[in-house]
Structure 1
Amino acid sequence: MAGLRLGPLLRYVDGSSATVWVETDRPGTVEVRCADGPGGTSGTFQIAGHHYALVHVTGLTPGTSRPYEVFLDDARVWPSAEEPYASLPPSVIPTPGPDARTRVAFGSCRWAAPPTGEPDPVGPDALDALARRIAADPDGARPDVLLLLGDQVYADETSDATLAWLAARRDLDDPPGPQVADYEEYTHLYYESWLDPRVRWLLSTVPTCMIFDDHDVIDDWNTSASWVEDMRATSWWRERVLSGLMSYWVYQHLGNLSPPRPGPTRCTRPSGRPPTAPTRCAPSPPRPRRTRRPCAGATGATSAGCAC
């Protein structure tokens, strides 16, 4: 899809605002336009040659469901006019009402489904099945939020298609062999998982919170001090764990929190690195301590995507 490499992903949503995540194929300005006026705009940021945007959509009304479109430099990039996307219902931003109860769909440990017609060694894809059910009855009951609890990708157990892609990129006789090695290879795992058309549509229309687990980096990682020592002695582990954590932050964590609370983070580039070098993120200097107030969700019903 020209202009849009991945997404849109609908992330945090409350009664009046939402966050939409995208990866684009070039730098630019991303705009989300909703029916009847609400919307938001954000410039892209770059990490390791990839371009992303996190768009804060404002002006929404509690208890409504508004179709939306995504534009890159004023050119519409979502929804796509191509099949099978054109046959799917419009992507919407559903906002919780003031007294609404939250229906949560849980999931974890998702192995990317193989191409249509190929055997699936792990059985039917539940996320794809949920997408089919909602698409067949877009006005029916649906989850208010998807809570994905780890292993969105398997860095240590790659598919046959990914193995072929890795083999064209580097010698698999060198460590880490058939496992992913760096940030670029991590991005391929997310493309493989989230470019499935129905899953892509589902993530565009149901608010989603995510957290990672061991397979997003490696099975049973950090289980003992001796394990850590052994891994740190290898030639490939440092790049692997840095890339795993960095890609988690970009693809899964960004958008989990409400926009006013993104965290005290600033992005810096070490001196001497070219502009295309991976951006490293460092915490901001300490701020004065403030009394923390409990999240609204701690005392009663939560809004979709509330992180306490």
Structure 2
Amino acid sequence: MACRWTPVELLPLNIYIGNGLEAEGVAVSGDAQCLCEAEQRALKTVTCQTFTPWTTNVCCCVTLARVPWSSVTHELYYVPSAHSHTDNVEDLIRKGADVNRMHGTLKPLHCACMVADADCVELLLEKGAEVNALDGYNRTALHYAAEKDESCVELLLEYGAQPNALDGNKDTPLHWAAFKDNPECVRALLESGACPNARDYNNDTPLSWAAMKGNLESVKVLLDYGAQVHVTNLKGQTPISRLVALLARGLGTEQEEECLELLCRAAGRFEIRRADGTLPRELSKDPQLLARLTNMVAQAPTLRCLARCAVRQSLGVQFLPTAVKELPLPETIKDYLLLRD
């Protein structure tokens, strides 16, 4: 008996067979037959198509030898990205599947967040999935959700996910949301108390991560919540110098140029040379960009510009649009303080 289907139809379960044989992500047909049902009817060799999780579009075949139905147990493991199979997952839970069982380096909740399956995330949480459980890389489900989907992020936060949880590299979910340019996830995390100036193992902040990719929308949200621009990592890099390194590669887009202008307005004044007086290596390869930045640095900031930086800094870490709105100032000045000039 042979069962062959496409990867998008993988069933979100892991079937363990006796004698160490197993199949991860068992395929399911249109009439919802799965390997277990086929095995129950006939003790024959079964070949099923499975998705290898470390590749993007490669399938492999796993052959399972003859085994009695009584030796088959069920484990939640993989949730497909194209189709949500919450009915299948709920059925497995009813049969005794452990929603907190680790398989390899992941738990079911991590898998559901990796593929942004909000329905499955909600089901797993309702059934007792540990919201702050760590995977093999010390990442929580929120780290994965922050890269992908606002709905998953909000569900996890509602169930008590820690917005400032650190992974193995001391990265927070906010670092990952900023790096992947998911501004709605960035906003949801900040509204729930995520620190906009959290430092990772390299002393990089979420703003540094967003800037190094030229992620304009995420940069805007972070600045609205008081993210600091004058921060330096262990290599002496600032968010602006991170972005400059990207532009120096010659692949700058209009969005990245706008991102640079925004960061420069927020900074007031900045330096392109390192603390030891040397220029970043990338700039030496782009004389045009070097000349432009040198000219910007040479221009003394206006008193108005310095005042804006001082006011923003004094307001600290909070949602600045709300804080500025309460100030007894003309609307034009409020817009200026919010970098809308």
**TM-score, scaled to structure 1:** 0.23
Structure number with higher helix proportion? 2
Which structure would you say has the larger Rg?
A: 2
Structure number with higher strand proportion? 1
Q: Which has the higher contact order (CA 8 A, sep 6+)?
A: 1
